[in-house]
Amino acid sequence: MVETDTTPFYITTAISYPNGRPHIGHAYEAIAADVIARFQRLRGRHVRFQTGTDEHGLKMARKAEEQGRTPADLADEMSGYFRAMCDALNISYDRFIRTSEPDHHRASQAIWQAMEASGDLYLDRYEGWYSVRDEAYYDESELVEGEGGAKLSPQGTPVEWTVEESWFFRLSKYQDQLLALLKTPGFLEPASRRNEMIAFVEQGLRDLSVSRTSFDWGVKVPGSENHVMYVWVDALTNYLTGLGYPGDMGEFWPASLHLIGKDIVRFHTIYWPAFLMSAGLPLPKKVFGHGFLLNRGQKESKSLGNVTDPLELADRFGVDALRYFLMREVAFGQDGSYSPEAIVQRANGELGNAFGNLAQRTLGFIAKNLDGYLPAIRGHDPADSALFEVVDRAITTEIPDAFESLAIQQAVEAWLQAVFACNAYIDAQAPWTLRKTDPERMETVLATLYICIAQLAVAISPVIPASSGKLLEMLGVPEDLRNLQGIRSHWYSPLAESDYQLAPPTPLFPRLELPAEAESA
């Protein structure tokens, strides 16, 4: 049930590793996090939303060396592409953090010193398997066999035998506490990820190598300048850096939600909580590991030649159409698939034909037949009350409840069902006929639709913010009422009595055409 909630809400994405340009998976996570952040703002909550880039580690150092440039130069260029993606996709972040920034180095060294003060760091020698691509250590028992007998990580990435002096973190010390945390309802979702992590911890945890000496692109270990921190110690600390750690972090910590891909759940639900326990810091409230986005059912890869630039999709189909498709098509938490055909079908069928056409018919009729002046409400028919009840239930219960449980697809479905109810109502009431037979009834029908369209525009605004904002501007809804409480207030009659005049509407969702190459595929 929707209620105004002013409690702080801190949401983060995983910070992206910028050794290549952004792909559709980066866009999917950023959009999903933005939708959640915008929904919480609609509820009245004080939201902080952080994203950014994770720029250290051996993978970046090697990539820069291949290109004959410094890692810092590579990071500057590549991080810029990720920020540009977020800006182009209308991602409403409060901070775009870069782990190469000085305040982040200070925060990472501070959490290191806190863990050291707890007696959880010791110097030893590391010998074992390391995946540069995953920036992860793997036990022999976790490896799988690839072509020609090559050893691969569980993710299918190459591993190499590493021998070097290293600082170790006493991960094993926290095994029981981590197991209890993972079994805490709501901490890790969906359930499939939770079960995987519980099984991993129950097999027994070994202490974790947390520094490297074989390269120097990273945060220096305090007191051991020839060591740089293991990239995941540094990367995870970004969630604290953005709040001012090691100073006062204010109202936002612990984080309300870390939104991440399913492939990095171990780092966020085993390593990260253990680091925080060691440093004496509160633990995040929830971690959600979403699924992968597949290109026509296939994982994207450079070798298959199917890597998609999300900005090309946004340019081709529109930012809001892409955002809507990704949130509507995929059950959040599971893997999903996309294609140009599917984007066009959803955008034309649901955004265009269902909602856009509803707004166009209603507002166009008012502009043409009432000179744009808002119709008066002249009594109520049971059909009006029934429609108000359907829409009110959607925006006060069904949509908020789904968003709160991160069931984004179900939230969009609930919204769409209310849109369908409005379309059924306009067809049944036929204001174009009432214009001749009962003009007063026509006005009530149009006013009913006007109010419902505004309420539905607010409810879907986290998903399609630009289109919803344009529609609400057209409708004359005051900005301070464009939230879940305000849009249910008594705003319509004062607006109508103010002689507000609606301009002839322009289509919200121009019909999309399938690209020629997709049609011939």
* pLDDT score at 214: 87
Query: pLDDT higher for 182 or 515?
Result: 182
> Six-digit token pair at 90?
């209308």
The DSSP code sequence of 338-369 is E-HHHHHHHIIIIIIIIIIHHHHHHHHHHHHH
Q: Is residue 316 included in any domain, yes or no?
A: no
Segment among 124-138, 282-296, 452-466 with least mean pLDDT: 124-138
3-state DSSP of 455-511: HHHHHCCCCCHHHHHHHHHHHCCCHHHCCCCHHHCCCHHHHHHCCCECCCCCCCCCC
Question: Pairing relation of β-strands 208-209 and 220-221?
Answer: unpaired
Q: What is the pLDDT of residues 310-364, one digit of tens each?
A: 999 999 999 999 999 999 999 999 999 999 999 999 999 999 999 999 999 999 9
Q: Is residue 221 included in any domain, yes or no?
A: yes
* pLDDT score at 481: 97
* pLDDT score at 120: 98
184 and 44: one domain?
yes
Alpha carbon 249 to its chain's center? 23
Q: What is the pLDDT of residues 111-121, one digit of tens each?
A: 999 999 999 99
Report the domain count for the chain: 2
31 and 158: one domain?
yes
Give Cα separations from 263 to 25, 30, 196, 280 (angstroms): 12, 16, 11, 27
385 and 263: one domain?
no
Q: Is residue 136 included in any domain, yes or no?
A: yes
Q: What is the pLDDT of residues 94-146, one digit of tens each?
A: 999 999 999 999 999 999 999 999 999 999 998 889 888 887 888 888 899 88
The domain in which residue 374 lies consists of 340-497
166 and 50: one domain?
yes
366 and 441: one domain?
yes
Domain containing residue 265: CATH number: 3.40.50.620
Contact 216, 228 (CB under 8 A): yes
* pLDDT score at 4: 67
Contact 149, 109 (CB under 8 A): no
Q: Does residue 73 have a pLDDT over 60?
A: yes
Query: pLDDT higher for 292 or 303?
Result: 292
In sign, the C-alpha dihedral spanning 67, 72, 77, 78 is: positive
* pLDDT score at 520: 43
Last residue of a domain, one of 290, 325, 355: 290
CA angle 463, 467, 468 (to 5 degrees): 70
* pLDDT score at 427: 98
Taking the C-alpha atoms of residue 29 and residue 35, their distance in angstroms, rounded to an integer, is: 10
Taking the C-alpha atoms of residue 149 and residue 155, their distance in angstroms, rounded to an integer, is: 16
Q: Average pLDDT, stretch 403-419?
A: 98
Q: Which residues contact 3 (CB under 8 A, 6 or more apart)?
A: 43
Q: Does residue 461 have a pLDDT over 60?
A: yes
The pLDDT > 90 percentage for the chain reads: 85
Phi/psi region, residue 372 (left: phi>0; alpha: psi -120 to 50; beta: rest), is left
136 and 263: one domain?
yes
* pLDDT score at 492: 97
Contact 332, 463 (CB under 8 A): no
> Six-digit token pair at 139?
């036990």
Q: Is residue 313 included in any domain, yes or no?
A: no
Taking the C-alpha atoms of residue 365 and residue 31, their distance in angstroms, rounded to an integer, is: 35
Question: Pairing relation of β-strands 188-189 and 287-290?
Answer: parallel
pTM here is 0.93
Domain containing residue 476: CATH number: 1.10.730.10
Q: Is residue 319 included in any domain, yes or no?
A: no
Segment among 18-27, 282-291, 315-324, 479-488 with least mean pLDDT: 18-27
101 and 176: one domain?
yes
36 and 130: one domain?
yes
Last residue of a domain, one of 257, 290, 323: 290
Query: Mean pLDDT for the chain?
Result: 94
Q: How many Cα neighbours within 13 Å face the side chain of 8?
A: 13
* pLDDT score at 521: 43
Q: Report the C-alpha dihedral over residues 200, 202, 206, 211, rounded to 10 degrees.
A: 40
Q: At what angle do helices 24-42 and 71-88 cross, to 10 degrees?
A: 50
264 and 345: one domain?
no
Segment among 73-82, 186-195, 293-302, 389-398 with least mean pLDDT: 293-302
Q: What is the pLDDT of residues 414-452, one digit of tens each?
A: 999 999 999 999 999 999 999 999 999 999 999 999 999
* pLDDT score at 515: 63
The pLDDT > 70 percentage for the chain reads: 96
Query: Pick from 128, 97, 84: which is nearest to 235 by CA?
Result: 97
Q: Is residue 143 included in any domain, yes or no?
A: yes
34 and 156: one domain?
yes
266 and 390: one domain?
no
User: What DSSP element (H or E) covers 97?
Assistant: strand 95-98
Residues listed for the chain: 521
Rounded-to-5 percentages of helix, strand, coil across the chain: 50, 15, 35
Q: Is residue 414 included in any domain, yes or no?
A: yes
* pLDDT score at 455: 98
Q: Is residue 113 included in any domain, yes or no?
A: yes
Report DSSP state, residue 171: G
In sign, the C-alpha dihedral spanning 275, 277, 279, 283 is: positive
85 and 234: one domain?
yes
Q: Average pLDDT, stretch 71-82?
A: 97
